[in-house]
């Protein structure tokens, strides 16, 4: 079972659709106050891992816990402990950035004053002139920044990110990574599914490579260089080739 320091613990998880095992003995742990990047090719099981943590899918065997709670057994309780940022966020076109943020926080049972909301939007990199504009004219990157503000305002122990830098330019990606440092420092466990190896190497404490439903390789940051990016890139290429074969 998860310890007090393991906000996310997955052990030997098997999850199948029919005869196809999407997760095949997956083991992964994300301690509180840390960032784990989960990389893998299409079909490796990344989205299914997030779905299982959110309680949307039930595994056939193994152990999965979010703050010591099984998401399949008590999904509502688990979701109150998670802030989730999907790749394509459903926002309301007719509402402004401030109104979207306020409304989505209210749906999760949280309320923040306008100052806190605008501070979060500014921290996410959204320019002030866009705060009160309707989202109908927003680019994907601007929408992503609104969603990031919502996720960062949620005071929860676990943050799940699905391709969080998709649609962001290099400057916005750097700003986002700086925000994740703050989130980690307040004790949040962050699991980030991404194809952005360079961003992962910049921010993650651990990088795990998912292949055929299990972690095939995991590396932790070490020394001033943090990671050997060249070796990571070679590993990422090998994993993708295996999945495509």
What pLDDT digit, counting tens, does each position of 104-126 carry?
898 888 889 999 999 999 988 88
CA distance readout (Å), 179 to 124, 186, 230: 8, 11, 26
Residue 122: inside a domain, yes or no? yes
Is residue 111, in this structure, part of any structural domain at all?
yes
Query: What pLDDT is attached to residue 87?
Result: 82
Structural domain contains residue 143: yes
Q: What angle do CA 230, 194, 242 make, to 5 degrees?
A: 65
Residue 2 is predicted with a pLDDT of: 41
Residue 155's H or E segment, with its range, is none
pLDDT at residue 11 in the model: 97
In a domain, 229, yes or no: no
What pLDDT, on the 0 to 100 scale, is given for residue 245? 46
Tokens of 206: 């651990």
Q: Residue 118 domain-assigned?
A: yes
Residue 184 falls within a domain, yes or no? Answer: no
Is the Cβ–Cβ distance between 71 and 232 less than 8 Å? Answer: no
23 domain-assigned: no
* Assigned domain for 99 exists: yes
- What is the structure's pLDDT at 96? 96
**Local confidence pLDDT in tens for the 245 residues of the chain:** 444 467 999 999 999 998 999 999 999 999 999 999 999 888 899 999 999 999 999 999 999 999 999 999 999 999 989 999 888 778 999 999 999 999 989 888 888 999 999 999 998 888 999 999 999 988 888 888 898 888 888 888 999 999 888 777 888 888 888 888 888 998 999 999 998 888 889 999 999 999 999 999 999 987 777 887 788 888 776 655 554 44
User: Which range of residues forms the domain containing residue 117?
Assistant: 92-155
What is the tally of structural domains in the chain?
1
Please answer whether residues 145 and 137 qualify as being in contact, where contact means their C-beta atoms are separated by less than 8 angstroms.
no
- Report the pLDDT value the prediction gives residue 239, as an integer from 0 to 100: 57
């Amino acid at each position: 079972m998860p310890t007090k320091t393991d906000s996310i613990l997955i052990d030997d998880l098997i999850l199948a659709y029919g005869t196809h095992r999407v997760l095949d003995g997956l083991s992964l742990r994300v301690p509180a106050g840390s960032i784990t990047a989960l990389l893998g090719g299409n079909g490796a099981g990344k989205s299914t891992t997030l779905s299982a943590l959110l309680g949307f899918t039930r595994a056939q065997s193994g152990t999965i816990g979010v703050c010591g709670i099984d998401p399949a057994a008590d999904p509502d309780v688990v979701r109150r402990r998670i802030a989730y940022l999907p790749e394509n966020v459903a926002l309301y076109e007719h509402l402004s950035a401030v109104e979207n943020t306020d409304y989505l926080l209210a749906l999760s049972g949280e309320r923040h004053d306008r100052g806190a909301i605008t501070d979060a939007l500014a921290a996410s990199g959204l320019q002030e002139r866009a705060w009160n504009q309707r989202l109908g004219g927003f680019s994907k990157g601007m929408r992503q920044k609104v969603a990031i503000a919502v996720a960062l305002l949620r005071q929860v122990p676990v943050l799940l990110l699905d391709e969080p830098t998709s649609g962001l330019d290099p400057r916005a990606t750097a700003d986002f990574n700086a925000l994740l440092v703050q989130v980690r420092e307040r004790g949040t466990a962050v699991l980030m599914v991404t194809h952005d190896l360079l961003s992962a190497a910049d921010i993650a404490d651990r990088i795990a490579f998912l292949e055929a439903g299990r972690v095939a390789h995991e590396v932790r940051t070490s020394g001033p260089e943090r990671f050997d990016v060249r070796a990571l890139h070679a590993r990422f290429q090998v994993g993708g080739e295996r999945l495509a074969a």
